């Protein structure tokens, strides 16, 4: 049997379920998920190794019009993934249908002449007739190699999507060992988990104005049982710092507790998590500061 491998780009508007789909496909929480749009800022690699092949999923930021340097970086990331991918999986939310941004991007993807699969996500929130009508419209206008509906949280459609992708993946050897599910290390994942919990708990513009910087990550030494992590939450204004800390330090405590529990589940070790908050004025508007916090273009 010929082995297959290749990169699959997960594309679509913000908050349509790309990261939830990625985690369901990989079987591990490699991408953070919140109810807020534009949670994903970087290209996230998730690896699914099957007997027939290895699928390398690339989760991407949601498509939107950039209004600051951080958003420009996010859209450049999408462009790089589109150029590098072997297959496109475009995600459309069942209850929202095809919007102008979807139509523009799908028309462009179709012109690139790489296999295009359309996924209708959150199918549990829509009726069968609604999904059928949307599927018919997608086939008529964009001619994907296949189209299917999914409910990623219930794992409905996940195995079918894997089968479709294996059919159109190019032949090739595995890129990673079979027990590897991402190229992120525990330091990277800890940072993202802290940001995820901040996104969940904070409101308005504050989540979009913060970044997490890891200062120290120390695994347990011989005779110890605790992983020690020190991280800084960086915001853009003094008023935001007060919101992140909260009255009597309650908000930063909540963020820390939720993040610590998820990190412990991930690494299988007790964790001490120390958090502090600082202001770096308008960091998301500065290319130099973006690089300082790890938002560096892959090209």
What CA–CA distance (Å, rounded) separates 25 from 152?
A: 8
Instruction: Report how far apart, in Å, the C-alpha atoms of 10 and of each of 82, 83, 115, 286 are.
Output: 9, 13, 13, 28
Helix (H) or strand (E) holding 233: strand 226-235
DSSP state of 63: P
Which CA distances in Å does 240 have to 202, 249, 252, 276?
10, 13, 12, 13
The pLDDT value given to residue 297: 61
Cα 150 off chain centre by = 17
The SS3 assignment for 90 reads strand
Chain mean pLDDT for the chain: 93
Q: What is the pLDDT of residue 171?
A: 96
Alpha-carbon gap, residue 84 to 216, rounded angstroms: 33
Question: Sorting pLDDT into bands at 50, 70 and 90, what band is 296?
Answer: confident
Phi, psi of 115 (to 5 degrees): -55, 135
- Domains along the chain with CATH numbers: 4-168 (3.40.50.300), 186-293 (3.30.300.20)
Judged against a pLDDT cut of 70, whether residue 206 lies above it is answered with yes
The pLDDT, as a whole number, for residue 148 is 97
**Torsion over CA: 73, 75, 78, 79 (sign):** negative
pLDDT band at residue 174 under the 50/70/90 scheme: very high
Sole residue written with tokens 């910087």: 213
Which tens digits make up the pLDDT trace of 6-60? Answer: 999 999 999 999 999 999 999 988 988 887 887 888 889 999 999 999 999 999 9
């Amino acid at each position: 049997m010929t082995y297959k491998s290749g990169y699959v780009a997960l594309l679509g508007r913000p908050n349509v379920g790309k990261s939830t789909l990625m985690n369901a496909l990989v079987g591990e929480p490699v991408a953070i998920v919140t109810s807020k749009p534009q949670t994903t800022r970087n290209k996230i690699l998730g690896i699914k190794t099957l007997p027939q092949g290895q699928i390398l999923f690339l989760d991407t930021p949601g498509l939107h019009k950039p209004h600051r340097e951080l958003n420009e970086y996010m859209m450049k990331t999408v462009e790089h993934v589109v150029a590098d991918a072997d297959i496109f999986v475009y995600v459309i939310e069942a209850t929202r249908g095809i919007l102008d941004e979807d139509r523009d991007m799908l028309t462009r993807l179709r012109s690139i002449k790489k296999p295009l699969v359309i996924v209708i996500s959150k199918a549990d929130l829509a009726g069968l007739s609604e999904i059928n009508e949307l599927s018919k419209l997608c086939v008529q206008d964009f001619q994907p190699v296949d189209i299917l509906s999914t409910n990623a949280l219930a794992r409905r459609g996940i195995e079918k999507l894997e089968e479709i992708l294996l059919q159109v993946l190019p032949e090739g050897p595995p890129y990673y060992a079979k027990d590897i599910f991402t190229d992120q290390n525990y330091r990277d994942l800890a940072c993202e988990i802290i940001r995820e919990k901040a996104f969940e708990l904070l409101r308005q513009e504050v989540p979009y104005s913060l970044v997490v910087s890891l200062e120290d990550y120390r695994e347990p030494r011989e005779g110890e049982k605790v992983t020690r992590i020190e991280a800084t939450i960086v915001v853009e204004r003094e008023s935001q710092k007060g919101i992140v800390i909260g009255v009597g330090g309650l908000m930063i405590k909540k963020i820390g507790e939720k993040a610590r529990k998820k990190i412990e589940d991930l690494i299988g070790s007790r964790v001490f998590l120390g958090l502090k908050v600082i202001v770096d004025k308008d960091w998301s508007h500065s290319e130099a500061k973006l690089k300082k916090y790890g938002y560096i273009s892959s090209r």
